[in-house]
Amino acid sequence: MATAKDTTRLAATRCRRERLERGTASWVTMVLLLGLAAAAYAAVVFVPPAVLQYEVKQVVRDYGNQAVKSPEDEVLVKGMIQKIRTLQQEPGVDAAGARIWIPVIDLQREDIVWERDRESKPPTLHVAFEYPRTIELPWLDRSVERVFRVDLTMDISRPDWGPPR
């Protein structure tokens, strides 16, 4: 036998079910959609600079690996700077009005710390630098200035693969 309390609960449940069947959304659905939109916006804005930072670290590690066999530090630093400058470029205009590509990360030799320590056991290479990056926030008409840091200390000892065969 149904009591008054059960009848009220059934009526409220039926009313809610009918409202949702008509295509209306609850406040929970709206909050979830807004959260999803905010997460997508943050991903579009902040993932590309993070990927570029990862690529820069990979270039530094690559030149650290090259330093194992090459004692020419200045050649390695110049090559690393050139590689980092070509990772991402933006179109621009020079003083004469010609269209050029401007590197997003504009490193110079004096910005980079490159210290090879042969006396330590194992020998190490310390590479460190900072670079600013302006992140444009679409639809907000704002930009954010962030400073990204690379500070890596790498082992540059030659590996011992055992006796030759």
Does 149 fall in a domain? yes
Q: What angle do CA 33, 36, 41 make, to 5 degrees?
A: 125
Looking at the chain, how many residues does it have?
Answer: 165
Q: Nearest CA to 109 among 152, 77, 64?
A: 77
Does 20 fall in a domain? no
Does 145 fall in a domain? yes
- Please tell me the total count of domains within the chain: 1
Average pLDDT along the chain: 87
Q: What angle do CA 140, 141, 142 make, to 5 degrees?
A: 90
Does 129 fall in a domain? yes
CA–CA distances in Å: residue 135 to residues 44, 49, 102, 104: 11, 8, 16, 11
Does 75 fall in a domain? yes
Question: What's the confidence (pLDDT) of residue 57?
Answer: 97
Tokens of 94: 């020079």
Average pLDDT over residues 63-88: 94
Question: What's the confidence (pLDDT) of residue 48?
Answer: 93
Compare 24 and 132 and report the one with higher pLDDT.
132
Give CA–CA dist 111/108, Å, rounded.
Answer: 5
Question: What's the confidence (pLDDT) of residue 161?
Answer: 83
pTM of the complete model beyond 0.95 = no
- Identify the domain containing residue 127 by its residue range: 48-159
Judge whether residue 1 has pLDDT over 80. no
Least confident range from 32-36, 59-63, 99-103, 139-143: namely 139-143
Does 113 fall in a domain? yes
Does 63 fall in a domain? yes
pLDDT tens digits for 82-117?
999 999 998 989 888 899 999 999 999 999 999 999
Compare 48 and 21 and report the one with higher pLDDT.
48
CA–CA distances in Å: residue 90 to residues 37, 56, 93, 106: 27, 17, 10, 11
Does 24 fall in a domain? no
